[in-house]
Amino acid sequence: MSKTNSSTTQQFDTLFAGPARAYAALSLEFTEKLAAAQFEAARAYTDLSLAQARAWLDVKDVEGFKQIVESQQKVAQDLGNRVKGDAEKVVTLSQEFLQKGQKLTEENVKAASAAR
């Protein structure tokens, strides 16, 4: 009876619990990386916004106003590059998650077939 119970437990782990744990670990890893990327982006955008606000507060004359307006083009370009880079990072993370998920599924299907 104990041998049957052990075999059933092993089958359950091979077919259900093991794959569920592996997928949960993969999902947690993806979520952690995505959250880190989002926090990093939010921090960068906040720093940029605060720097711009400080720059505007330093305007005291027409020349200062002219300089800050001219600098806005570079700031906008830098921001656009940052947004593009952040979007590429999220796409890369998503593709990595998809590929690892597909590999995990293939491995689980093979393990399930072998367990029969």
For the stretch 82-100, pLDDT in tens is 999 999 999 999 999 999 9
Count of structural domains within the chain: 1
% the chain with pLDDT above 70: 94
Question: Considering only CA atoms, which of 4, 27, 35, 42 is closest in space to residue 97?
Answer: 27
For the stretch 8-33, pLDDT in tens is 777 777 777 888 899 999 999 999 99
- What is the pTM (predicted TM-score) of this model? 0.77
Give CA–CA dist 108/15, Å, rounded: 7
* Count of CB atoms situated within 10 Å of the CB of 109: 11
Range of the domain at 75: 2-115
